[in-house]
Amino acid sequence: MLDGARIAITMPGINVSSTLERTIQALPKDYADTIFLADDGSTDDTVQVAKSLGVRVFSHSKNLGYGAGQKTTYREALKDNADVAVMVHPDFQYKPELVPALAAMVVHGGYDLVLASRMLDGGALRGGMPIWKFAANRFLTGVENAMLGGHVSEYHTGYRAFSKRFLEEMPLAGLSNGFHFDSETIALALLHGYRIGELSCPAHYFDGMQSMPATVGVRYGLGCLRTAVMGAIHRSGLHKPALFTTGGPTLLEAWTEGVEQ
C-alpha cells in the first residue's frame, strides 16, 4: 500500500518458471497488496512455482495471448479494489525494483498510465537491446507519435502502471488479445485525454530470456502501424473506429477468461 492506495502487481506469462522466483524476489518487500499471475497455457511448472511464492494465479484454459493475460490480471486487480496496477514481466526483462516509482507517479503524480522507458537515458543498446529491435522501436514510436499526437519516448515497453480510473473506464475488453494490446492502450489514453507519464528504465537483455520471434515481431509492427492509422482517422473526426470509442465493453463487464486455481 502507498499512502492509503492499494497496489497490485500484475504478471501475464507463459512458461516462466525459470525466471518467476527471481522476479518475485527482486520486488520491494511488503509493498504490493496483491500479486496476480495470468498463466496463459503454460506447459511447465509455472503455476506451482507461483503458488509456492504466494502469488494469486488465474489460468487460461488455452493460450489466448499476451493481451488476454493482461486483461485477466487487470480485471482481478479491479475486483480486488486496487488503486494502481503495475505490470511486471515475470521473465525478469525489466527491473522489478522500480515498481514503487511507477506506482508513485500514479498516486502522487496524477498519471493514469506510466511507462518505464528504455529510451529516455539513451542506454538501450548498452543494455543489450539488439540493433534491429532498437531501430524498429525508434521508427514505430516516431510514426505513432506523429499519427496519435503524442510525445512518448517509447510505445513498446512492457513495464507499465495503470490507474484504477483508466482500467475501469476504458473499453479494454474489446482490445486485442495479442501483443497489439500495448499500443492500443496508449492510443486510447492519448485520444481520450488521460495523462501519460514516463520514467527511465534500463534495458536488460540476457541469455535465456523470452523474446518475440522475428515473424511475430513483423506482425506486431504492422499491427502497431494499423493502430496508429486508425488513431489518426479518429483524431481527424472523419470517422470514429469502434476500437477507440467509449461505451464499449470494460474488463469488469465482459472479460471472463481467468479461472482461479
pLDDT in tens, 6-53: 999 999 999 999 999 999 999 998 899 999 999 999 999 999 999 999
The rounded percent of the chain whose pLDDT value lies above 70 is 96
The CATH number that domain 7-239 falls under is 3.90.550.10
Which grid cell is 54? 504466494
pLDDT greater than 70 at residue 209: no
Residue 210 confidence (pLDDT): 65
Residue 260 confidence (pLDDT): 59
258 — alpha (psi -120 to 50), left (phi > 0) or beta? beta
Read off the pLDDT of each residue in 195-206 and give the average, rounded to a whole number: 89
54's CB contacts (< 8 A; 6+ apart) are 35
Cell 522500480 belongs to which residue? Answer: 98
Residue 208 confidence (pLDDT): 63
Which tens digits make up the pLDDT trace of 143-155? 999 999 999 999 9
Read off the pLDDT of each residue in 219-230 and give the average, rounded to a whole number: 94
Q: How many CA atoms lie within 13 A of 156 on its CB side?
A: 23
pLDDT greater than 90 at residue 128: no
Question: Closest by alpha carbon to 45, among 25, 18, 68?
Answer: 18
Residue 123's Cβ-count burial label (10 Å; 0-12, 13-18, 19+) is: middle
Q: Among 176-180, 207-211, 235-239, which is the least confidently predicted range?
A: 207-211
Read off the pLDDT of each residue in 134-141 and give the average, rounded to a whole number: 95
Q: How confident is the model at residue 252 (pLDDT cuts 50, 70, 90)?
A: very high
Residue 247 confidence (pLDDT): 82
Mean pLDDT of the chain: 92
